[in-house]
Structure 1
């Protein structure tokens, strides 16, 4: 017989609706799990409280034990100091013996740091401090106590006539020490005190048992709860999870006796329990909860299976409807007889007819054009009989409004759930816009091709590693034909790297497929000039990498005929050479009178020697030795004249630029010899300085000499034009090693004492055909700068000032030292005037 409560439960359960039964079936297991968790949490909390009480009692016992040990240690040190004070008060020991006994006590008791004997006048008679005591805490013999803590407790010990402890303060630097003042009496009269100073850290280290320090964080606190010694823990470090559970840490405090004065010993327990995560009971609760949850999920799945199936069906229907309504592709279904059975919203929107107007229609359909009905019937027959093209076909469709658009139709068979065909599914896409874009692209391509064909430059494109020519314009075909031979020849001759050709079996495969080519296609185009023997032309070849329309990496080469430009450049170079020669001829023309004066001296001497010898020979007044001496002098004068003429000839003769390793000193000597003629004519002194051991320069020595001669001649003319007195008529030439623009170089500078250059002249100084001379042609300095820059150097001009007055001008230029040359080494050199 079933009990009456069970019958009542069954009757009540049967009266409930299925929805309420489902809710009860879900709520009962959930309530059971919550009750189970509440019971476990209550039991766990009770056990934790019991454990906490036991641990707190253990802390209390250990702290009291540590306090007793610390108290006994202080009392022992107090007894020792009192014996020492009694002996000192009875005059049984003097200061030296007091110091000796104090040293023994300090060495035997590490916590005792300083022992001092202070007389009744507050003066230090004797004192000993441990080596580790800070100098600021040591007492010198004869020192008198100043007002402060020591003096205050000194007075208190004298009044109370008993030992007095002083309490150290927290946070002092250096740390304060615990002081013990023991009064001295000589025949009943106060005779001073014995001061013992204890290290608080030492008391904690040696007074507290090691097992207590191991289990707890022990600290000594003052009356303001400041930590004097030891270590204190925060709540997180002390207990972690237990503090969050109980609201406080496990700690205990006791006063320190006999010190008193609020000095407290505190111990805080380290965290030793495993907490919630490491507790076995916790993991048991977790495992039972997971098991219960798994059973609850199984129950929910069983009770809600029908509801889930219904919701899935509704969701699938809604999804299908939303997908059909959101598609831009028109969908049409035909049965096996060609009748329309379904159209979606996109199809209706394309044609303009509604679903009611289209469903059930047979051919001809209303969206067919009258002119295309025969074609559309053929397409429909092919579609019904399964002969439609896989890629679809293009048709014209008429809207209800009468407008026409282009569309592409794709056909596929419609299969039911039993695998039998029930009709045909047709998708229709509006391709009016793509058709328009394709026509525009075709027209654009024709324009692009027309432009490239009309270019006067050769344009060719070829893929890397292949002999296929992707594109070539008319100019390329006229020069090289229709293959890639000319393209590859220009690439190779221009020094542009190209990928190797693949094997014949892989002609259609991109050898660089899959590799990153962004760096190549984004790089700057290469630009080179080459000469093609087959064409007899100079070509400027520009090459760059690009990604072809099929994704392959290709190389674009543009070649332009620059033969006329090269011819013009050669003619310009020839004209520059002629201008340099003309400049030298002009310079020598301006120096003609000086040269004539210079040659007149040796020629006059030769004439005099010859006339003298002839006269003496006729008079028979000369012997063979005298005649030989006169002839030698005549030969030397002729040789001197020949050297002058040869040097001028080599300077003014026209020659091709010839850069050879040249010695700087030799070039300077030749230039000084040539320019010295003009400077002596104008009564101008020339001082030159050449640094020792200068490196050899790779230059054309005649051109560099031309620059120096021109600058020194201009300097002499500037001095002459300024009408300087004889003491100020000098030109200085200096040649020194320098570091210019980060590279070793040799600097040539010419400095004069003329009137300088006006600011407007400095701005146009190196322009062609600009001159400050009345009869100047304006090509000298321009050619000088061109010569220097052709040797990769630079030229500069500046005025020299004495205060606000211009006292001269300085022209300088530098020539870089070749990389292969030795480093520049400076040193002393000759200076001549």
Structure 2
């Protein structure tokens, strides 16, 4: 273990030379890259040279082939007897001489000259033995085409290779390359530029065969390639290495001084960090502008952010709640002004993962060695668990009180329903006696008798309602029967006829709406409650509208909607509206909708609230369908398996 430790210490002491080594490595890598770039440039230049050579060779071959084809056509068109004047009158000859040809000669079968143009060109040339070729003579370098005539003999056309280069060489290739035409022995036939390739340039040779037999096209680059060590980059790299060596020497001296200071500060920093990390209380330091200058591990764990993410942050802080940003900024300005309470204050922060936590913050001034305040030091304690326990205890107390109120209300409602039975029975008895007395006396006024009969019906209906409510409050199942929703709605509207004055009521029911399995009396009470709630919201509206609609939902339910054009629910949901003792009315008990929801759920249905088609509130509930052809049917709706049966005796 001692040897590796000494090795590490030696490496640490020699770390001053690392910049110099890196500079040398960098210079070597740059030199290698430049050398590789030179090779790549040379290869790319050679590939371009080859491509340009092949392109120019193809251009020359196409030109020569076209000219040879013109010679063949001319040979076929010439008459059997031809002289110089007749040959000169040929349009193809005139154009060829103007274009490229040097001379045109007509030979017979014995290779004697029959015609030759132009006259100033020498005729004492040996007849060519091949159809195409290049020859060196006293007049210079010439090339020829030879084509046989149908009448016998041959037509020989000579041209200058230098003129061929002028005709076929593009200007951009002439600027880049020195172009030469050479024979198989390397003798120059035609050229542009210097005769020989310069050092540092590249050349490429391609055969022009068969357009010109034993002739080669050679391209030489004009720009000389300079290696990278002859450029300014090499000099700059040398200066860079020299400066790096000087900087490394200065760094070695500086490191010796810093190492002494580090040894003194390391002990103090380690002691302070150990103390801070052992704390479970979050610590944060801020300067006078509110910028975070110090945080400990407990604070980072508290808010979920790393120290590198928090240090240097200015308000607003990332752990502040977005919806309480104004309050947080106001507290921050108060604290920066020195107004933080000495006993601390509570705040709500947000962890990085999104959950909210409650903290207690204590602030104190941060003073430097000269007695000047340079910021604030805060201690933060997480009190979320304590707050949660307090909230849980409060909810438990409220739940017990709510249960007690519900129990008391159930007893009161049951007793009230029991006590109302006798007065209602007495009203029904007195009403029946009055009707019989009037009939026996023979003074039966039809209007009075109709009113008494209606009075008896309403008393019986009130008795049924009281019996059903009492049965419902004593945890008995509703009395289900086959009900037609339109009939239920019609009876409810008839009962509320007086309350609906001035309100435009619209009833929308499909003609094929199936019947439902429900307790008619309880469902009527639900409808009455919903309609009266809507009427309360429609007060003082000149254009009050109410719509009652029903439609089939799926295969097993019918939904009933009660819409109005009132102010709406203002974001309240069904859970809030049906909470016991919750009411939007100043004189409301908050039990109407809660009981309605209990009735609907006892029928294995559901209740919803939302925005209606009229722009106001919509209250909806669903009821289960009853199978066709059955009067007393068993509910097949998923629930607690309660069998709903009709009790005719109790209905009477």
TM class by smaller structure: 0.3 to 0.5
| TM-score, with structure 2 as normaliser | 0.34
